[in-house]
Structure 1
Amino acid sequence: MTHLLPRHKKLLSFLTRHHPILKTLLQNPPPISHYATQSSKFPEYEMPTVTWGVIQGKKEKLVNRVKVCDHLQTLGVITDELETIELPSTLEVISERLEFLHKLGLTIDDVNEYPLMLGCSVRKNLIPVLAYLEKIGISRSKLGEFVKNYPQVLHASVVVELAPVVKFLRGLDVEKQDLGYVLMKYPELLGFKLEGTMSTSVAYLVSIGVSPRDIGPMVTQYPYLLGMRVGTMIKPLVDYLISIGLPKKIVARMLEKRAYVIGYSLEETVKPNVECLISFGVRREMLPLVIAQYPQILGLPVKAKMSTQQYFFSLKLKVDPEGFARVVEKMPQVVSLKQNVIMKPVEFLLGRGFRVEDVARMVVRCPQILCSRVELMKNGYYFYKTEMGRPMKELVEYPEYFTYGLESRIKPRYQKLQGKGIRSSLNWFLNCSDQRFEERLEGNFIDVDSEGPVFEMGGKLDMPGGVGGEVVSDEDDDESDDDEVLYRRTLTL
């Protein structure tokens, strides 16, 4: 090493002779601590940050942010929640965003409801998201309303978050033309995770017997079911309905047609309504039939409606509380019928000479006459009096006569009876299918008058008189026309 020192000294002498600045630095080196504490000659600058295309210093950014916030405050925007988000660096950009939101239909009050939307870029966030929403069926005129209801959508990624949810809905058989309606009704769906509540609620409904092909229509009717937890909301309701006598299959059919029943609160609405029905005289064994016919009764203010209607039936129709309970069992929709609608057929019957007591008996036996159109009742009554010539007592005993169509059932069957020279009760020739009626005419089938269909706990709707009961078929519906109101205590599901 010692033999290198002369050469090192020569090199150092050469450098200092030709580079005076280097000589000064070598002779007066700066303190090491000076470089350890200062990273730059300009301490107000850190690593350059690109914000909205402009390289700004820290102080300049703070100044511009204050200007932007002051500008927003002068417009009425509450800026307290904007401290954690990055705002535009210029007034021009923030003004552009506000103008865009204003054209969309949002006001300053709407912005204050969710001020974080001001952190969304017009070109990177707003335009792509809104264009996608319009593409899937939300009309441009309703985009503002959609954003008001669910402003978080403006932060979403079309590819990563929105498109997978739409694909999931289409996979449930939600029609393409219904997507806009579903999302307008429940926009929060776009924020759900596919593997979460949506999948579990669908899986549970299928497990209790809901047809997979009916899930789509159910979601279209009541999209909120996709956001309901199975363990705390859906399953307890289903279990309760089964516990009061409704077969699981009937519950499944009921939910398929009226999915909104899932949204009824079990503890606050359903249980109190069931207990209320019992307190008004509805028999426990008839509860399944009542609920199956009119599921909406589980979500109505039943106590108020029952009290009002019971008083009305007692005052105007002379139907006692026990009779009113039988009316509710046979046609629970009566709790929601308007009183002026009820009085029209009642006044028609009273005007034809029926006594008040007889009308009360007729209503208790067949409350469906309260929904009959007076014009059709007139036609049926005049045919009964002029062509059939039967006593009014038979109508009191079988008021269901007024629920059948004159041209489609009463007249043709009566004419066939006349041709055969057969005289029978109204019930015998009206309360049966066309096939059974022909069998009766030929004498191939003889049975006594029946009371009408009976709801069995197994989920069937049996017509008494056959071996094991005859299920009312869909073919029976084909013979009715628009003007006919068939008397069937069926499950209208």
Structure 2
Amino acid sequence: MAAQPVEVLLFMQRTELLCDADADDLWVAAPQSPASVRSRLLAAEREEAKAVLSLFLRQKGLRSTLAARIVNKSDGFIEHLVSKLQIAYRSRYAEGRELSTPEIRDALLPYLEALSKEHGDSLVEVVENFPDPFAMEREALSSSMAFTPTSSNKQKAIARISTAASGAALPELVPYLLDLGMDHEEIKDIVRKFPAFAYYSVDRKIKPLVELLLELGVKNSSIPGIIKKRPQLCGISMSDNLKPMMAYLESIGVDKAQWSKVITRFPALLTYSRNKVQTTVSFLAELGVSEKSIGKILTRCPHIMSYSVDDNLRPTAAYFRSIGADAASLIQKSPQAFGLNVEAKLRPTTDFFLARGFSVEEVGVMANRFGIVHTLSLEENLLPKYEFFLAMEYPRCELVKFPQYFGYSLDRRIKPRYARMTGCGVRLILNQMLSVSDARFEKILEKKTARL
């Protein structure tokens, strides 16, 4: 079936809402009070906003059921969208006239697209956890451009940091960031993704963050990268949000001596709501991870907080259990595996081994012993290394015992070691051949050849 235009899809959704309504909801027997009319219009606009958001999420690749679930638990964000409509069409509201589907679409879709560009993979979390930690900061900074077209806001922000006004210098933000190590194009890129950044005060917003990062041991050279990854950090209140969040994370086990590494790896961690963090921590505890280990996971792999419990962590844990792997142990050793899609990545990896004669139980054992095996590329890693494994004529059980084989470089480690071993006329198990140092490897070969 050919793709339907956006207007048609939204009209169809609106029509379905009307068709589902009771006759009493559609029939107005007598003139209604202004308050009653307004209430009815608001209810209709909420449904319209939900329809636009659902459509937008599906256009971004989410399944219909997932998009519907996100919309249904995002009441705060839906109210936010309705408020945007009220600002955009203030005169229409004064007249008490109902907005059309195209008008609602034209107002909301550009805004949602701008949010998507700004937040990328974190958009769903912004929607579900609205208002996010930096929403109030952004609203305050952009109140003068409340709902003018987003492209206009972006152009104004970029112009602000690109050219000086007549007789004036560039905003102090620009020279400060240049001194920090950024170039002008990098500053523009930040503003393109997050226009409000152009209006941040150096003394009240950016300097305090930079000073905190330096106190935590972050290198000067790493600070520009942190700001580029998450410019919203500069807008978060130090006393009300950022420091309390750090204290909370430390209370659940994040190593405060490692803050510089944690923030450099994943600065978005400090922009999440406490509710989001608590939801993830509760799931890890439910999985069987100890409090001490939860802190270690968050310290070593803070980006686990970007994974949705319902859409990533829980389904992935269930899948690993289904093949006999210990999900609690696995998430501690290889938390990055829990950000992968079951159908697109995990199941194909399991099927790769099943097609080559391994049992489900053996795949589970390999996952327990080498947690990242399901994160490896089939074409670039597993397939070429498995083909060379067959050429070495080792029994299949060697891979089950030592799946770490797939973690070594084929050209720099496996092939050279195998050639050296066979050149000596000896045979070592995979573990002996690959896991020891060069010096230890030579000693093992020397002892083996001496016995020939």
TM over 0.5: yes
Give 1:412 shift.
Answer: 0.8
Give 1:171 shift.
Answer: 2.3
Matches within 5 A, 1:121-270: 144-146=152-154, 162-265=170-273, 267-270=274-277
Change (3 A) 1:333 1:180: same
Paired AA for residue 347 in structure 2: M
Listed as ranges, the gaps of 5+ residues in structure 1 are: 1-75, 80-107, 114-141, 447-493
* Residue in 1 that maps onto 2:68: none
Q: Compute the RMSD of aligned alpha carbons.
A: 3.7
Give 2:320's match in structure 1, choosing from 313, 326, 339: 313
Matches within 5 A, 1:45-124: none
d(CA) in 1 for partners of 2:431, 2:287 = 30
Please tell me whether the aligned partners of residues 269 and 299 of structure 1 are also in contact (alpha carbons under 8 angstroms).
no
Matches within 5 A, 1:426-445: 426-432=430-436, 436-442=437-443
Give 1:206 shift.
Answer: 0.9
Counterpart secondary structure, 2:240: helix
Change (3 A) 1:428 1:290: farther
Listed as ranges, the gaps of 5+ residues in structure 2 are: 1-88, 93-105, 112-149, 448-452
Q: Find out whether 1:379 has 2:384 as its counterpart.
A: yes
Matches within 5 A, 1:357-376: 357-375=361-379, 376=381
Between Structure 1 and Structure 2, the one with more helix by share is 2
* Residue in 1 that maps onto 2:294: 287
Provide the TM-score with structure 2 as the length reference.
0.59
Give 1:195 shift.
Answer: 2.1
Give 1:304 shift.
Answer: 4.4
Give 1:333's match in structure 2, choosing from 333, 336, 339: 336
Please tell me whether the aligned partners of residues 384 and 390 of structure 1 are also in contact (alpha carbons under 8 angstroms).
yes
Q: Find out whether 1:347 has 2:351 as its counterpart.
A: yes
Please tell me whether the aligned partners of residues 424 and 445 of structure 2 are also in contact (alpha carbons under 8 angstroms).
no
* Residue in 2 that maps onto 1:393: 397
d(CA) in 1 for partners of 2:107, 2:411 = 62
Please tell me whether the aligned partners of residues 204 and 230 of structure 1 are also in contact (alpha carbons under 8 angstroms).
no
Change (3 A) 1:406 1:226: same
Give 1:303 shift.
Answer: 4.4
Change (3 A) 1:160 1:344: same
Matches within 5 A, 1:389-468: 389-432=393-436, 436-442=437-443
Deviations 1:239-291 (A, max 9, x none): 333344433343212212322222112x2211331222111112333324422
Counterpart secondary structure, 1:309: helix
Counterpart secondary structure, 1:353: coil
d(CA) in 1 for partners of 2:159, 2:425 = 76
Paired AA for residue 333 in structure 2: K
Change (3 A) 1:253 1:204: same
Please tell me whether the aligned partners of residues 280 and 309 of structure 2 are also in contact (alpha carbons under 8 angstroms).
yes
Give 1:307 shift.
Answer: 2.4
Please tell me whether the aligned partners of residues 160 and 170 of structure 2 are also in contact (alpha carbons under 8 angstroms).
no
Change (3 A) 1:227 1:369: same
Give 1:414 shift.
Answer: 1.6
Counterpart secondary structure, 1:174: coil
Give 1:189 shift.
Answer: 3.3
Please tell me whether the aligned partners of residues 174 and 220 of structure 1 are also in contact (alpha carbons under 8 angstroms).
no
Counterpart secondary structure, 1:390: coil
d(CA) in 2 for partners of 1:237, 1:399 = 39
Give 1:429 shift.
Answer: 2.8
Rg (Cα) greater in structure: 1
Task: Tell me the number of residue pairs that the alignment of Structure 1 and Structure 2 aligns.
Answer: 304
